[in-house]
């Protein structure tokens, strides 16, 4: 970190942590003596679709590229994803999956067919990144593989043989084809999506028909002996609760999980709003619309409980994130947008919401990993930027497979025009390291919040923290200034006589590690 930048951040932090006389006093109570469900590591899953520069130039540059790479994969991207312990990656879409024929992406790259990506930008797709490239990439990152099968335009045999190609240890013709393409040992395939958005680009199906299709295709997803592949049904578009009801009623026995897709869009599809340069009204409306995730998960889970009271079937938020108007001057089909402190706050709010539903919600995939929508990373030539959202994932990464500790938040309200939400959001887990990790977000862009933290059944002896904040609501990193916003050490929490208190600066995310 440059010395000038570091000094500026520390000056901001020192000022922010001072106890302001007019700050609201809130309470965060952690019930450490009544542990809840596991915060499944797959809630930090990623999504990589053949869209814009999400794959080509984003994570794949080819072995002959001058950009530092490992077997054709960008080394900087691999290293960055490893640092946040990416647990799982969904591929190849998205809508692209519904027109994807996996055989077009195997074998010698020079002989793979070239097609047009009719969903995203009308550009040519040379299929140089296919099944072998994706599965090898997940191994390099240390992530589980989640492939979305083509149910919209391919027969069941296509999906059956794709799974066999990836997983079979036998000497079948399909497994031998994999070996001929350079991979002797089968890969581990964790999850298979039975189509993508069957209600839309996946075939415009009615739920009753989609349930029958799901039952049919599920039959032919066959894992090798001794292995299990999670079968994921195409779930609802946002608040289409009828879809979830029909799928659970008619086809729940055919899948292990069902998805739901929800994007935070400040305005509407034709005019979503800008990623930067926004005012406080746009800040507030975006965060309020993000909070709708809690309502969606509550209602979809209640429907699932009717048919699956033991919660065998997981609910996966396998597409989520902010969606704005594309950056001016970029291809509108590439969905490239800048990423600001606001997006990091959106991510933290969702992480806290997921904690409240961890018994049923056991996986999520942010859209998307590199260069598309709410990305972790932005690339340009040989340069790479970690976005504020990346840093939110980094701050929360110790939640992975921790035990959720119920949290009660008593806080005031943040209001701007017609938009209102609680000023403080929080969640906590006891990590696998035994440490209590408490994530707190102050959504108010103008006022600090003073917090009294209560620990039921636990005594705090030591506390450490990090904070992500900035002077501007739309603070973001650029290729010229890649470290403009990133977490720094936080000294705004105090432990005195067993009493824990903290000050959350305006528009900040704070992660406390309590021992």
Query: What residues contact 311, with CB distance under 8 A and at least 6 apart?
Result: 304, 305, 359, 360
> What does the H/E/C string look like for 443-454?
CCCCCCEEEEEE
Beta bridge partners of 402: 39
197, 225, 268, 327: which is the annotated catalytic residue? 197
CB 284 within 8 A of CB 419: yes
User: How far is Cα 136 from Cα 183, in angstroms, rounded to an integer?
Assistant: 9
| 319 catalytically annotated | yes
3-state helix, strand, coil in the chain (%, to 5): 30, 30, 40
Q: Helix, strand or coil for residue 259? A: strand
Classify strands 314-322 and 24-31 as parallel, antiparallel or unpaired.
unpaired
CB 259 within 8 A of CB 232: yes
User: How far is Cα 78 from Cα 142, in angstroms, rounded to an integer?
Assistant: 10
Polymer length of the chain: 515
DSSP H or E stretch at residue 362: strand 361-367
Tokens at 242, concatenated: 């009828």
Buried b (16+ CB within 10 A) or exposed e, 451-464: bebebeebebeebe
- Residue 321 CB burial class (10 angstroms; 0-12, 13-18, ≥19): buried
| 161 catalytically annotated | no
- Residue 228 CB burial class (10 angstroms; 0-12, 13-18, ≥19): exposed
Measured from the Cβ of residue 391, the count of other Cβ atoms closer than 10 Å reads: 22
Tokens at 374, concatenated: 């709410």
Residue found under tokens 């530092």 = 68
Calculate ∠ Cα 394-290-506, nearest 5°.
Answer: 65
Residue 368 preceded by cis peptide, ω within 30 = yes
Q: Which long-range contacts (CB under 8 A, 24 or more apart) does 290-293 make?
A: 290/264, 290/322, 290/346, 290/349, 290/350, 291/349, 291/353, 291/421, 292/262, 293/262, 293/317, 293/320, 293/349, 293/350, 293/353
Beta bridge partners of 512: 438, 465
> What does the H/E/C string look like for 394-443?
HHHHHHCCEEEECEEEECCEEEECCEEEECEEEEEEECCCCCEEEEEEEC
Tokens at 261, concatenated: 């897709």
User: How far is Cα 396 from Cα 347, in angstroms, rounded to an integer?
Assistant: 10
Catalytic residues, by residue number, are 197, 319
């Amino acid at each position: 970190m440059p010395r000038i930048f570091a000094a500026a951040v520390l000056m901001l932090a020192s000022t922010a942590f001072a106890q302001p006389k007019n700050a609201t006093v809130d309470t965060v109570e952690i019930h450490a003596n009544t542990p809840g469900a596991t915060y499944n590591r797959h809630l930090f899953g990623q999504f990589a679709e053949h869209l814009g520069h999400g794959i080509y130039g984003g994570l794949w540059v080819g072995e002959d590229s001058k950009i530092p790479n490992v077997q054709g994969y960008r080394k900087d991207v691999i290293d960055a994803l490893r640092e946040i312990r990416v647990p799982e990656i969904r591929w190849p879409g998205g809508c692209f999956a519904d027109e994807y024929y996996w055989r077009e992406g195997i074998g010698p790259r020079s002989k793979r067919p070239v097609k047009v990506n009719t969903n995203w930008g009308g550009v040519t797709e040379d299929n140089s990144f296919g099944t072998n490239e994706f599965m090898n990439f997940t191994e390099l990152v240390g992530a589980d593989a989640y492939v979305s099968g083509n149910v919209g335009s391919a027969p069941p045999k296509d999906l059956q043989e794709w799974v066999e190609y990836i997983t079979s240890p036998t000497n079948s013709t399909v497994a031998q084809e994999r070996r001929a393409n350079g991979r002797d040992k089968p890969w581990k395939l964790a999850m298979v999506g039975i189509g993508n958005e069957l209600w839309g680009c996946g075939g415009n199906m009615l739920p009753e028909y989609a349930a029958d299709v799901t039952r049919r295709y599920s039959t032919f997803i066959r894992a090798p002996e001794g292995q299990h592949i999670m079968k994921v049904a195409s779930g609802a578009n946002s608040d289409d609760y009828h879809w979830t009801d029909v799928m659970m009623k008619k086809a729940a026995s055919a899948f292990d999980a069902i998805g739901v897709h929800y994007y935070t869009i400040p305005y509407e599809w034709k005019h979503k709003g800008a990623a930067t340069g926004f005012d406080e009204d746009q800040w507030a409306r975006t965060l309020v619309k993000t909070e709708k995730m809690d309502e969606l998960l509550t209602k979809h889970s209640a429907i699932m409980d009717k048919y699956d009271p033991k919660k065998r079937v997981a609910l996966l938020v396998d597409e989520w994130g902010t969606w704005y108007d594309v950056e001016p001057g970029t291809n509108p089909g590439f969905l490239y947008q800048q990423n600001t402190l606001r997006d990091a706050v959106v991510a933290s709010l969702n992480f806290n919401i997921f904690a409240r539903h961890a018994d049923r919600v056991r996986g999520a995939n942010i859209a998307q990993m590199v260069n598309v929508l709410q990305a972790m990373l932005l690339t340009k030539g040989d340069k790479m930027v970690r976005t504020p959202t990346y840093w939110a994932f980094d701050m929360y990464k110790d939640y992975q497979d921790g035990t959720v500790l119920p949290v009660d938040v008593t806080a005031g309200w943040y209001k701007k025009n017609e938009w209102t939400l609680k000023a403080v959001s929080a969640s906590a887990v006891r990590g696998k390291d035994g440490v209590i990790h408490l994530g707190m977000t102050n959504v108010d862009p103008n006022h600090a919040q003073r917090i009294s933290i209560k620990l039921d059944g636990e005594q705090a002896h030591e506390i450490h923290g990090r904070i992500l904040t900035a002077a501007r609501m739309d603070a973001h990193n650029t290729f010229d200034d890649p470290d403009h916003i990133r977490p720094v050490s936080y000294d705004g929490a105090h432990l005195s006589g067993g009493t824990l208190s903290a000050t959350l600066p305006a528009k900040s995310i704070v992660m406390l590690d309590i021992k």
